[in-house]
Structure 1
Amino acid sequence: MTTMRDAWRLATGTLTALPVRPPTRVDRRTARTAMLLAPLAVLPLGVLVAMLLWLGGLTSLPPLAVAFVAVGALAVGSRALHWDGLSDVADGLTASYDRERSLAVMKTGTSGPAGVTATVVVAGTQAAALTAYSHSIALAALAGALVCLSRCALWVVCCTRVPAARADGLGVTYTRTVPLPVAVLGGVLLSVTGGLAVLVLVRRATTRFGGVTGDVFGAAIELALATMLLTWAWL
C-alpha cells in the first residue's frame, strides 16, 4: 500500500503540475509503478484538453486558436517539462556526433535552433491535428484519451532492454524498470504510428547517446501525442 501511494504521488508530481505530497520513498520499484500509472496520473490533463476542445467547438472561435489554447494548457499542466525534453533532445542530436558533447549540450537547458524548430513543428502538428476533435463531445473525449495514452510512451522508454545514457540524472531511477511485455503493450496502445515514432526515437537516442535520459522521456511523450493525434484525425 505504501509503495502504491508513493508511486501515485511520484507519477502525479512528476507528470503534472497538480500539488501532491512528496513520496516518502523513491526506489526503482516505486519508479516502475509510477511509470505504469502514468496514463492514469494525467487523467485530469486529458479531461482539461477534452473540455477546452468541446467548449471551444460550441463557440465561433477559430478551431486552430482553440487547439493552440489546448496545447498551451496541456503544457502548463505538465510544467512544460516534456517540451524542454524535446528541445534538448533535438539540440543533442544535431550538436555533434560525439556522445559526450551531445549529452553536455542537452544538459545546458538552453534551446538552440534545432530545439526551437522541433518544438514549433511538434506543437504545431498537435494543434493542427486537434482542430479535428472539436466537432463533438465524443471526438473531444477521444483527444483527451489520447493525451493519457501518449504517456504509455514511458513504458517503452523505460523498458528493461533500454539502457540509461548517464550514470546520474533524472532518468536513471526509471530506466530498465518496465518489463518487456508491458513495454510491448505500451507500443500497441500508442497505435502503430505512435509506437513506431517512439521506437525510432529510442533507437536513435541509444545509438547516439548510449541510452536514454529524462529528456528522451519528455520527447517521447510529445512525439507520441503528435503522431497519435494526427493518425486518429486522419482516420
Structure 2
Amino acid sequence: MMLSFFDQFMSPTLFGVPLIALAMTLPWILFPQPLSRWLNNRMLTLQNWFIGNFTQQIFQTISFGGHKWAALLTSLMIFLITMNMLGLLPYTFTPTTQLSLNLAFAVPLWLATVLIGMRYQPTHALGHLLPEGTPIPLIPILIVIETISLLIRPLALGVRLTANLTAGHLLIQLIATAAFVLLPLMPTVALLTGILLFLLTLLEVAVAMIQAYVFVLLLSLYLQENL
C-alpha cells in the first residue's frame, strides 16, 4: 500500500519511451514568443514584466561581468517554475522530483561558477577555504571542512528542490486518500480534510515557485562569490 504513494515519482513510460522527455519539452511551448510590435497582448506584457523584474532583482548585486548569465538563469527559473507547477495537475509527472535531473542542473552550473573564480580570481577563490586569522593548528582541519562545504553545494541544491517537492506531493496524496476514505464514514471530517487539502494545494503552489526561485538565487550567490 505504501509503495503506491511513491509510484507518482517514477518516470512513466509509453511503448518503452520515457515520458520525462515530453514533460521537459512541454514548458518551452507554453510561453508565447515576443513580437516585433510596440504593443503586445496582456499575456506577453505580463511575461515580459515578470522576466524583467526577476532579472533585475537577481543581478542588481552582481558585477557587470556576471550579467552574461542573465539569459541562462532567467530561462532556468522559468523552466523550473513551469515544470513544478505542471506537476501539480492531475495525471502528470514532475521531472524535478528526480534527484538525478536536479543534480544535472546543479552540478554543471555550480562547477562553472567555481571555474570562473579559479580563472579570474584564483587567490580570492582559494581564500574562501581558509578564513583570515585562523590559528596555525586549525589550518588543515578548516581547509578540509571548507572544501567539503564547497563540494556539497550542488548536492544541497539538488536535494533541497527534490525533498521539498517530494514532501509536498506525498502530503497531498496522503490527505486526498484520507478524505476519500472518510467520506462515506464521517462526511464532516472528510469535508474538513478536503478544506485542509485545498489549503495544502495552495501552499504547494507557493512552494513550487519559491523553490525554483531559491535554486536560481543560490546559483547567483555562488556566481557573485567568484566574480
| TM norm structure 1 | 0.33
Alignment TM-score, normalising by the size of structure 2 = 0.34
